[in-house]
Amino acid sequence: MQTKLPTDTWISATWDEYSQIIEHPSYEKAKSYYHNGKMRLEMAPIGNDHASDHGIIMYVVYLFAAIKNIPLNGKDNCTYRKTGFNDIQPDASYYIGEKANAIPYGTSIINLDVYPPPDLVIEIANSSLADDKGEKRLMYEDLGVAEYWIVDVQNVQVIAFAIENGGSRRINQSQILPGLEISLLNTALRKTREMSQGEVCAWLLKQFQ
């Protein structure tokens, strides 16, 4: 590794090259993706806005599932791998309903040759919005996740897609968490700019009950 690789962009690489790169100490803290013979490393430090929106959106999903009695297990920055083809590290991901317990404890990297893909994947987009709406969206379509959300930090909104038949379409209500309106997620995000997350969580509790 004598040449510093470009980050936050897709570059051509074989699977073997990608595997060697992500094991190098220089990139041990990087988020890494591989899709269609290209790799992407994300090295930017996580700032307050990204981390805060990450925290509140995960809370919303857990709270809604708990109140509506929907079986669910979430993963924070988990790695999913289809050896030779795909490697993903979404900011948040969930197995829902019958698949809630699909991944046993003791599992390290989730092998997609063995286990199903998550039902819901979420990317928090502060500086990566164009890529999250573009290449990553295609990647999640190929992997067959059921639903994909992008949290647009700068515009304080959630862009949600249902994925089916290898494509995706915008939705205003979650299909895998029935009854959860995307507009409510947007309102919750806006409220975090005006009040504490604890206060927002109390407001959400009233909305869901």
User: pTM to 2 decimals?
Assistant: 0.93
Amino acid in position 196 = S
Write down the pLDDT at residue 127.
78
23 and 78 share one domain: no
Q: What are the pLDDT digits (tens) for 49-85?
A: 999 999 999 999 999 999 999 999 999 999 999 999 9
Q: What is the sign, positive or negative, of the torsion defined by CA atoms of 193, 195, 198, 204?
A: negative
89 and 154 share one domain: yes
86 and 184 share one domain: yes
Domain of 103: which CATH number? 3.90.1570.20
88 and 21 share one domain: no
How far apart CA 101 and CA 34 sit, in angstroms, is 26
- Residue 26 vs residues 1, 2, 6, 10, 12: alpha-carbon distances, Å: 9, 11, 12, 18, 19
70 and 158 share one domain: yes
Contact 151, 122 (CB under 8 A): yes
Q: What are the pLDDT digits (tens) for 1-59?
A: 556 788 899 999 999 999 999 999 888 888 999 999 999 999 876 789 999 999 999 99
Range of the domain at 29: 1-44
The chain-wide mean pLDDT, for the chain, equals 94
Q: What are the pLDDT digits (tens) for 100-139?
A: 999 999 999 999 999 999 999 999 998 789 999 999 999 9
93 and 177 share one domain: yes
90 and 185 share one domain: yes
Structural domains counted in the chain: 2
84 and 137 share one domain: yes
Q: What are the pLDDT digits (tens) for 134-165?
A: 999 999 999 999 999 999 999 999 999 999 99
Other CB atoms within 10 Å distance of the CB of residue 73: 16
Closest listed residue to residue 103, CA positions, set 85, 118, 91: 118
104 and 64 share one domain: yes
